[in-house]
Amino acid sequence: MSDTVESLGAEIAACRICAERFAATRTRHAPRPVAHLSATAPVLIAGQAPGARVHASGLPFDDASGDRLRSWLGVDRAAFYDRSRFAILPMGLCFPGYDARGADLPPPAICAATWRARALAVMPQVQLTLLIGGHAQAWHLGRRRPVTETVADWRARLPHLLPLPHPSWRNTGWLKRNPWFEEEVVPWLRGEISRLLP
């Protein structure tokens, strides 16, 4: 039996592969996969992993980074969470916990190895995938390069892939040092989103 968006979404929601791993972190949390699969959305947002706030709400990008991402896209919350417009599939489907310094741990590799190819296969209608951050860029592009270098070469992967920096507040300094991103990439992105969305 082949996967459908509905059947795979239910299977992902029930995933507990990393239960022991997460129980051993500082937060001792249980898995809570957060993904929005879609059979119709033309745009896929490929992020890193949910943060603690998203883990609590169950809503992807339900934080300040989501506000910045929606600004880059030129859409409001209603459009962003409309699954006929956007699919959201992070590299790690659950909040990975914190390291000793209080920073988010990287997404466990087993997550993408288990779910990513199957999830992408049920969404063949996607026309533009936004690669947010180094983990998504490395997986989709086949090699790891510095995020700045990858994003600076953004035109090379159009029209189907667009690498982006993470919209986290931690990258505010990066945005100030790289004004070309908001001067060149963001206007192109807003225009393409306007063209693609129903």
- Supply 75's token pair: 């859409």
pLDDT of res. 2: 85
Span 15-26, average pLDDT: 94
Q: What is the pLDDT of residues 170-190, one digit of tens each?
A: 899 999 999 999 999 999 999
Contact 108, 92 (CB under 8 A): yes
pLDDT of residue 198: 76
Angle, alpha carbons 84-107-16 (nearest 5°): 80
pLDDT of residue 151: 97
Identify the pLDDT of residue 191.
98
Find the distance separating the first CA and the last CA of the chain, reported in whole Å. 31
Q: What pLDDT score does 103 carry?
A: 81
E strand or H helix at 139, and its extent?
A: helix 134-141
The residue extents of the domains of the chain are: 5-196
Q: CA quadruple 183, 188, 189, 191: dihedral positive or negative?
A: positive
Mean pLDDT over each residue of the chain, to the nearest integer? 95
- Looking at per-residue pLDDT, the higher value among 143 and 167 belongs to 167
pLDDT at 105 over 80: yes
pTM of the model: 0.95
Which of these, 135, 144, 143, 142, lies nearest to 50 by C-alpha position?
Answer: 135
> What are the backbone dihedrals phi and psi of residue 101, each rounded to the nearest 5 degrees, phi first?
-90, 0
Q: 118-145: per-residue pLDDT in tens?
A: 999 999 999 999 999 999 999 999 988 9
Predicted confidence at residue 1, as pLDDT, reads 63
pLDDT at 99: 82
Cα angle for residues 90, 96, 100 (degrees, 5° grid) = 140
| Higher per-residue pLDDT: 191 or 51 | 191
Identify the residue whose tokens are 């994003």.
151
Helix (H, G, I), strand (E, B) or coil at 127: coil
Taking only the tens place, the pLDDT of each residue in 30-86 is 999 999 999 999 999 999 999 989 999 999 999 999 999 999 999 999 999 999 999
Q: What is the pLDDT, as a whole number, of residue 185?
A: 98
pLDDT for residue 127: 98
CATH of domain 5-196: 3.40.470.10
Biggest distance spanned by C-alpha atoms of the chain:
50
- The structure tokens listed for 19 are 């239960």
Q: For the chain, where are the E strands, in sequence order?
A: 43-46, 86-88, 128-132, 161-164
